[in-house]
Amino acid sequence: MPKKRNVKIQFQGGQQDGDPQRATLKGALFRQTTGWALTYLDQPDENGVETLNTLFVRDGELQVRRRGSLFFEQIFRRDVWVTGHMETPFGAHAIQAFTTRLDSELSESGGHIEWAYDLRVQDQESGSFRIRLDIQGE
């Protein structure tokens, strides 16, 4: 596999009790020594700012970094609370995620990443979320 492969990503996700968001995005998939890395840009937010997302998929773990109007960094491991970090225009916030589902299957031609989690922000329940990315080589 080339060091980097351009991919098309079908995104579906959001709060579990709400309507799912859907988008088709372009990104890049990288094979790493310890797993996979996926990068992609979200569609611009209401202020026209794009968010760069970087996901690191390793055995039993998913690390997500979002950089845009909002900075978000969180590691997801099934059945444990893991502390992360979020910065908004209103300041920094301690966050924690409890992952209830974590499934990924990636290869040189693409695959999928799916995870579900409960999120706490500043020790307050923020909601339950589910995200699925279907990845296909271009």
Structural domain containing residue 86? 4-137
Rounded-to-10 torsion of CA 10, 45, 66, 133: -10
- Quick one: pLDDT at residue 138? 84
Of 90, 84, 69, 68, nearest in space to 117 by CA: 84
Angle 50-51-57 from CA coordinates, rounded to 5°: 145
CA distance 21 to 18: 9
- Quick one: pLDDT at residue 1? 47
- Quick one: pLDDT at residue 2? 52
CA distance 114 to 38: 13
- Quick one: pLDDT at residue 16? 79
Q: Which residues of the chain register pLDDT less than 50?
A: 1
Which CATH number belongs to the domain containing residue 111 in this structure? Answer: 2.40.128.20
pLDDT in tens, 98-132: 999 999 999 989 999 999 999 999 999 999 999 99
Task: Tally the domains of the chain.
Answer: 1
